[in-house]
């Protein structure tokens, strides 16, 4: 891990060993998050992406990665999520996005769809004990996602109930979400990534592809480099 310590008011940042990354699979099979345009649970997409990123990072970087929700124990508690971040360099929660109810249409099967939202979003909390490091990691990931050809979302800054998020960096798709529990209570720098909007029928098909998951994985693998 990276060691942060102060000495007579002088902050030093050292680097001992590998970069320690926690990949947090958003939601659980029972609390499965958003429903996609094909009625697929968000959790399934989060799980698939996290597994893909985990494999890529192990093969292509020196990052020490922990996937904090296993197939054997997928009903992870928030307390266990927070605990998994202790002493780590970065806690990264992986999610897929939706939009507010008024923008959704439902097909005959009850599957929601909308073209209102598109693109990735990154969230950080000013209540996280390592806010500036969290923001720096979000910026690094955002820059790399854009370099991979992905586009940041804008819909979370819309001044409506449920959104109204302050943009920390519009060009990189980074929003402030101070009371987001996994970010606020994490014991390390923490970032939440909404990697694509799964109620958008076009984007749902994109996020299913290995090519897309590779782009996300490459961006995440960049965090170890200073
Ligand atoms: Zn989610």
Q: What is the pLDDT along the chain (226 residues), one digit of tens a residue?
A: 665 544 444 444 444 579 999 999 999 999 999 999 999 999 999 999 999 999 999 999 999 999 987 777 789 999 999 999 999 999 999 999 999 999 999 999 999 999 999 999 999 999 999 999 999 999 999 999 999 999 999 999 999 999 999 999 999 999 999 999 999 999 999 999 999 999 999 999 999 999 999 999 999 999 987 6
The domains of the chain, with CATH numbers, are: 19-224 (3.40.630.40)
How many angstroms does the Cα of residue 201 sit away from the middle of ligand 1? 17
How many angstroms does the Cα of residue 8 sit away from the middle of ligand 1? 42
pLDDT value for 73: 79
How many angstroms does the Cα of residue 94 sit away from the middle of ligand 1? 8
Q: What is the pLDDT of residues 86-107, one digit of tens each?
A: 999 999 999 999 999 999 999 9
Note the pTM of the prediction, 2 decimals: 0.92
How many angstroms does the Cα of residue 27 sit away from the middle of ligand 1? 6
Give the 3-state secondary structure of the chain: CEEEEEECCEEEEEECCCCEEEEEECCCCCCCCCECCCCCEHHHHHHHHHHHHHHHHHHHCCCEEEECCCCCCCCCCHHHHHHHCCCCCEEEEEEEECCCHHHCEECCCCCEECCCCCCEEEEECCCCCCHHHHHHHHHHHHHHHHHCCCCECCHHHCCCCCCCCEEEEHHHCEEECCCCHHHHCCCCCEEEEEEEECCCHHHHHHHCCHHHHHHHHHHHHHHHCC
How many angstroms does the Cα of residue 130 sit away from the middle of ligand 1? 22
pLDDT value for 8: 44
- Enumerate residues with CB within 5 Å of ligand 1 (an ion): 26, 33, 95
Q: What is the pLDDT of residues 195-219, one digit of tens each?
A: 999 999 999 999 999 999 999 999 9
């Amino acid at each position: 891990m990276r060691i942060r310590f102060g000495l007579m008011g002088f902050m030093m940042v050292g680097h001992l060993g590998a970069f320690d990354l926690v990949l947090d699979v958003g939601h659980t099979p029972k609390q499965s998050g958003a429903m996609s345009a094909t009625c697929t649970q968000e959790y399934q997409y989060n799980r698939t992406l996290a597994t893909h990123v985990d494999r890529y990072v192990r093969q292509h970087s020196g990052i020490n990665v922990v996937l904090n929700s296993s197939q054997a124990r997928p009903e992870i508690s928030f307390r266990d999520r927070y605990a998994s971040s202790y002493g780590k360099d970065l806690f990264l929660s992986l999610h897929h996005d939706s939009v507010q109810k008024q923008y959704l249409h439902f097909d005959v099967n009850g599957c929601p769809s909308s073209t209102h939202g598109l693109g990735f979003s990154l969230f950080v909390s000013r209540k996280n004990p390592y806010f500036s490091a969290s923001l720096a990691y979000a910026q690094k990931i955002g820059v790399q996602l854009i370099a991979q050809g992905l586009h940041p979302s804008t819909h979370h800054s819309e001044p409506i109930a449920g959104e109204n998020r302050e943009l920390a960096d519009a060009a990189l798709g980074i929003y402030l979400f101070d009371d987001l529990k996994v970010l606020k209570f994490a014991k390390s720098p923490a970032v939440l990534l909404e990697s694509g909007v799964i109620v958008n029928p076009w984007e749902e098909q994109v996020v299913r592809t290995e090519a897309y998951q590779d782009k996300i994985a490459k961006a995440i693998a960049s965090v170890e480099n200073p």
